[in-house]
Structures are given as structure tokens and as C-alpha cells.
Amino acid sequence: MTDLPAQDTSPTFLGMPSFQRAAKVALGDTQQRRNLAHATATIRAKRAGAVAEVEGWEELRVAGAGAKDEALHHLPHYLEQLEAALTARGATVHWARDAAEANQVVVDLAKAKGTDEVVKVKSMATQEIELNEALEEAGIAAWETDLAELIVQLGEDRPSHILVPAIHRNRAEIRDIFARRMGAVGRPAPADLTDEPARLAEAARLHLREKFLRARVAVTGANFAIADTGTLVVVESEGNGRMCLTLPETLITVVGIEKVLPTFADLATMLQLLPRSSTGERMNPYTSMWTGVTPGDGPQEVHVVLLDNGRSRVLADEAGREALRCIRCSACLNVCPVYERAGGHAYGSVYPGPIGAVLNPLLRGTSSEVDQSLPYASSLCGACFEACPVRIDIPSLLVRLRTQVVDEASGRSAEAASMKAAAWMFGDHRRLEAAQRAATLGGRLLGDRTIRSLPGLGAWTQARDLPTPPTETFRQWWARTHGDDEGDLDDARGQPVVEEQDLGGAGPHTRQEGS
């Protein structure tokens, strides 16, 4: 066996900076921006054509959302049904509350088989829990077999897209990665490798074939888990996933508990929505289904790890649980103007784009800098909701999360402190009048100059000018022009009195209480 993949220096998402800081760096990468603009435009066009073929697309979206909501509103029932169906077909079900428990299950199973390597199908759940790093720490190599994931792994990179993890790379970059890294971890790339897609695919196929043929354990995710039959479903475009699902002796599937569908009939709806929304195809080239163990055919030991890792907390949030409908199609990423320019790495998670800006803070909380910043990684244009095949109202969830971030600051942020100060000032008219008089001093000192920046409002004033304070208050102007004291503006009940002549009318009017 060859050396372990050199992942010890691979960056993970832990400790990532805020979206705004990371995006600023990403915007300076002009090659990445060109790659993203070309790829997302191509996918958008394909999706639009595939969706236009379906007369009742909106009704299909409603049906998909309904199926997911049915599962989420009765999730304990459907999870128990799924476990019973899997167990009846010879599979072993493991429950994992968090990433550590899920990783330990997989590591222990691989060690029990005496293997020092596993092959993997593209799985966002295993990336979420950083399974590859956990396996490597235990001395077990995890070989990614999805072409895009292979590019990311060999390039010691991070995925930047749900559907196309290497979307930020172009063909020339991929050719260089293959030529430089393949030989260090297995069969080297051909010496005359070019950047033609067919040649790149051939190099990947030859490199992976030896890993498929000797692998004894495979790890996969699942797009859907059918409760009433115990069927697990993986959709893909290359066939590498099917090699993982059929050749090894032991198959381990790590699946988030939100991937459950109530009945097999619900799968028909999802298999119309998912491929059209993700790859712009009527049907995925490869749709693989397996139900437990089939004697004499395929893996004879099947394990399913049902992963929580924050999903129960999201499920308890009546509004937030809508995000758990997500079927990982990436349609929202492909229409998002922010993602197209910033790329996926800026989101600090395996889940980028609009859904990542919602899902990450819901799953992980908003204690870290990156999770506090993600709800603001959006222009709220609404394109993501229009594209979502299961009708997740991402803009509304983002606004709600922004409110949560501000509320949790509890006076610690400059914004919260300024709002607290403003509430105190507006709470008493004498304090307000004193503040207004104090502001006139700034107006006299500044003259005609514009305020370009103000402590605590620096970012706000970068995009707009702050109005210069007036040189006198309205009350001071009244006293100067009418020869009255400021206090004469109030009647006996403390209500301001304005003469009708000043309003263009013909008689005195007093503002009545409650008007």
C-alpha cells in the first residue's frame, strides 16, 4: 500500500475568519472569480431548460416540501421505522449524537476489519464531521473517489460547492494537481497528461481503479433514507459511487437524520426535483439503491450511522427546522450573486452559499465569529427561494438569524450599545433636548464639512455620508425667530402648539393626545 494522503497540513474549517474578511480575500482571486462565473452560469442555464420542461413544477415543489415536512414533524416515528426496516434486512444501525461519536463508530468498524484504508463516496455528512481527519489520526487512509472530491483531496484543498466541490478550479489547475500529486499516493498520472476533460477523467479512472479493487471497507453518505422500506439512495454522475457500494466487503453509511423520507412513493417526487435542480438533467446518470444485506451480492456487512450533530436542536426550532428540508441540490448557490463572487471557502463550512449561511449557524450556534457573520452573507434578493426545489424561505431565515445575532450580543457590540444609549436618551424629553443642544456644537464646529467616519459607525459611513448636525435646534430657531422662550412651545398640558399660519392654514390647531 502507498503512503497515506498528505492531509496533515490540509486546512479545515475550524477557526475560519468571518465571512466578510474571508470574502474580501476571495474577491482578490480573479482566476477563481472567472471559474465561478463560468461554471454557475452554465449550470443555471441547464437547470432553467430542465425545469421549463415540467408543466407543474411549482406543484412538484410543494409536494417535495410537504414530504420533507411530514418526515420532520414526525421524525422520531420515521427514524424508528427506518431502524426496524434496516435491521430486518440484515443491517446494523448506530446512533451518533455528535461528530465524535460518529467518527468513533467508523474508526472502530474499520479497525475491526484490520484495514488501513477505506474508499469513500462523496458525502457532505462525513465532511461535516471531519471523518477523513479522524481516520487519518487512527492510521487509516480515506480515499475520495468522486472526481471533484479527488481533485480537492489531491490539491490539499477544501470543497467550495455542494454539487461541484472543485468548482473553483479550472482544467489547467486540475491537470497540474494530478501530475504533481497522484504519484505520491498511488498510480501516477500519465507523463503526457493534458487538460482535455477526457484525458483528465482517464487519469482519475486509472488512479482509482486499483483502490476500488483492493478496498475491503467503503464509507458513503445517502441522499435519501426511506423509512417504510429501509432503502438508502445515492445519486451521482460518474459511477464511482456504485463501485464503492458494490465491491467492498463492508459498507458504512453515515446519514443525517433529516434525510429520511416517509415512503418509497415520496422518492418519485424527489428524483424529479433533485437532478433538475442540481445538474440540470432529467435524471442522474447513476441512481443506486440498497436495502440492508443481499446474500451473495454486494457488501455482506452493512452499517448505517444515523447522525444528529445539532439537527435535533434545529428540529426544535419551529421556524428554523424549515432548513432541514434541504436536499443538497446546490440550486441556491448557482443563483446567488454573493456566492458567485466570493466562492465557497468564505463561508467557513462544507455547506456554502445561501443554505450554508442558514444551516451552519443553526447547526453550530452563533458563538463563533464566522457563524455570527454568515446571516449577513446575503443581499436578500430572494433568488435562492425561487430556485429551491423544496421551497426553503432562506431570506426570511437569514433575517431571523440576524435578529438572533444582535439579541445575543446583549450590549457587547457597538450596535447594541448605541441602541441602548438611544433608548435611554429618548426615554425622557429633557435628555433628548439636552442631546439636541449638544449636537449643535458639533454642527457649528464642522461648518460645511461632511462626516466621513464616526467611531462605531465606520463601516456604515463607508457607504454613505453622515448628516452634519444642525447649528441650532428647532426650539432654538423658534425662540430666535418668534422672540419666545423655548418652553413657550408647550401648552398647559405639555403638548406642543403650532400656529396654523405656519402650516399654511387659517386657525390654531393643537396636537391632541393619541393623534
Domain shared by 305 and 434, yes or no: no
Residue 108 pLDDT > 80, yes or no? yes
Q: 136 in a domain, yes or no?
A: yes
Domain shared by 274 and 145, yes or no: yes
Percent pLDDT > 70 in the chain is 85
Domain edge (last residue) among 316, 348, 370 = 316
Residue 411 pLDDT > 80, yes or no? no
Domain shared by 285 and 426, yes or no: no
Domain edge (last residue) among 271, 290, 316 = 316
3-state SS record for 281-308: CCCCCEEEEECCCECCECCCEEEEEEEC
Report the CATH number at residue 89: 3.40.50.10420
Euclidean distance between CA atoms 285 and 287, whole angstroms: 7
3-state SS record for 302-340: EEEEEECCCHHHHHHCCCHHHHHHCCCCCHHHHHCHHHH
> For the residues of 224-292, what is the DSSP string, one character each?
EEETTTTEEEEEESSSHHHHHHHSSSEEEEEEEGGGEES-HHHHHHHHHHHHHHHTS-SS-SEEEEE-S
Element (H, E) at 480: helix 474-482
Residue 425 pLDDT > 60, yes or no? yes
Residue 426 pLDDT > 80, yes or no? yes
Q: 351 in a domain, yes or no?
A: no
> Tell me: the pLDDT tens digits for 471-508?
888 888 888 888 765 555 554 444 444 444 443 444 43
Bridge partners (DSSP) listed for residue 302:
251
Q: 422 in a domain, yes or no?
A: yes
Q: 9 in a domain, yes or no?
A: no
Cell of 141: 487512509
Residue 408 pLDDT > 60, yes or no? yes
Q: 56 in a domain, yes or no?
A: no
Domain shared by 432 and 310, yes or no: no
257 neighbors 306 (Cβ within 8 angstroms): yes
Write down the residue that cell numbers 463508530 correspond to.
105
Domain shared by 291 and 438, yes or no: no
Instruction: With CA atoms as reference, report the closest residue to 353 among 150, 91, 159.
Output: 159
Which of 232-246, 309-323, 433-447, 449-463 is the least confident region? 449-463
What is the number of structural domains in the chain?
A: 2
pLDDT band at 64 (very low <50, low <70, confident <90, very high): very high
Q: 55 in a domain, yes or no?
A: no
Cell of 336: 446567488
Domain shared by 157 and 290, yes or no: yes
Domain shared by 279 and 151, yes or no: yes
Residue 90 phi/psi, 5-degree rounding, is 90, 5
- Sequence-separated (6 or more) residues with CB below 8 Å from residue 239: 285, 286
Q: 436 in a domain, yes or no?
A: yes
> Tell me: the pLDDT tens digits for 143-160?
999 999 999 999 999 999
Residue-averaged pLDDT of the chain: 87
Residue 7 pLDDT > 70, yes or no? no
Domain shared by 293 and 155, yes or no: yes
Euclidean distance between CA atoms 34 and 210, whole angstroms: 35
Domain shared by 304 and 441, yes or no: no
pLDDT band at 433 (very low <50, low <70, confident <90, very high): confident
Q: 456 in a domain, yes or no?
A: yes
Domain containing 464 equals 414-510
Residues 435-469 as b or e (16 or more Cβ within 10 Å = b): ebeeeeeeeeeeeeeeeeeeeeeeeeeeeeeeeeb
Domain edge (last residue) among 316, 346, 373 = 316
Percent pLDDT > 90 in the chain is 70
At residue 4, the pLDDT reads 32
Note the pTM of the prediction, 2 decimals: 0.79
